[in-house]
Amino acid sequence: MSGTRRVRPTSGASTAIANSPWIVVSVGVVVMVVLLFVALGTYRTRGPVGEAFPAPEWTMPQPTMTLPTLPPTVSRSVTESPAPVVPGLSPRSSPSPSTARPTKPDAIPTPGGGSRSASPPAPPAPPPFTGAYRVLETYNGAFIGEVLVRNESRSSQGWTVRMTFPYANLVTAWIEGAPQGRISRSGDTWTFTSGADLNPGAAVPLRFHYDRTWATRPTACTVGNVGCSGIR
């Protein structure tokens, strides 16, 4: 026919490609892989030599290990034990020397403005005479007694003895071995006075005889102002 255009058949290669499309896909994949390797090689050659990859932003956690807690150190205080004590005895402690000074007596102000130390009081002076009473003999409501008078002073002096005997009768009285003195009476009290002074340290016995009494000791006996011993 004059109006119809005839198509000329293609070559053998074109025919094969048209009949097998996977060949085109495989070739494309190969080309892409080649291009990828080329691109990677180009990127590596452009960068500086020896450049390291950037460090990752996360860090690996370090393992933690808890150490065992040690027990607290026990402190022991060493105390010195006392020495053993023997039964029945007590430990002695050495006395510490005293550093305190002995105190002095208080000072007494004087009219002139000064002061003087107070002296201890003087001991009382001994009585000038003492008397010791005793019974020498007793019989039938009567007795003979004695007062031994002693001079305790430092000078020769006379003495006086007073005795009280209720309801008694004085028969006689005398001073043994010395001059006789005087006798006076006031009620039931008799006063005997020496006939001579008595030397210091000397003693003289005053003796007396009472009757009509069963009492052999007076209710009161004094030598001067000092009571007689031995009437109790």
**Residue 198 per-residue DSSP state:** B
72-119: pLDDT as tens digits = 555 555 455 555 554 544 455 555 555 556 565 555 666 666 556 667
* Spatial distance between the Cα atoms of 130 and 225, rounded to a whole number of angstroms: 9
Domain 129-227 coded CATH 3.40.50.720: no
In the predicted structure, residue 201 carries a pLDDT above the cut 60: yes
The answer to whether 202 and 150 are in contact (CB under 8 A) is yes
For residue 52, what pLDDT band results from cuts at 50, 70 and 90?
A: very low
User: Is residue 147 within 8 Å of 133, Cβ to Cβ?
Assistant: yes
* pTM over 0.85, yes/no: no
Provide the mean pLDDT of the chain.
76
Task: Report phi then psi at 39, rounded to 5.
Answer: -65, -40
- Closest C-alpha among 49, 207, 213, 228 to residue 141: 213
Residue 30 pLDDT > 50: yes
120: pLDDT confidence band, cut at 50, 70 and 90? confident
- pLDDT of 190: 97
Name residue 161's beta-bridge partners.
192, 223
The rounded distance, in Å, linking the Cα atoms of 173 and 136 is 13
- pLDDT band of 171, cuts 50, 70, 90: very high
Specify which residues 220 forms β-bridges with. 164
Calpha distance 179→190 (Å, rounded): 19
How would residue 38 be classed by pLDDT, with cut points 50, 70 and 90?
Answer: confident
205, 149 Cβ separation under 8 angstroms: yes
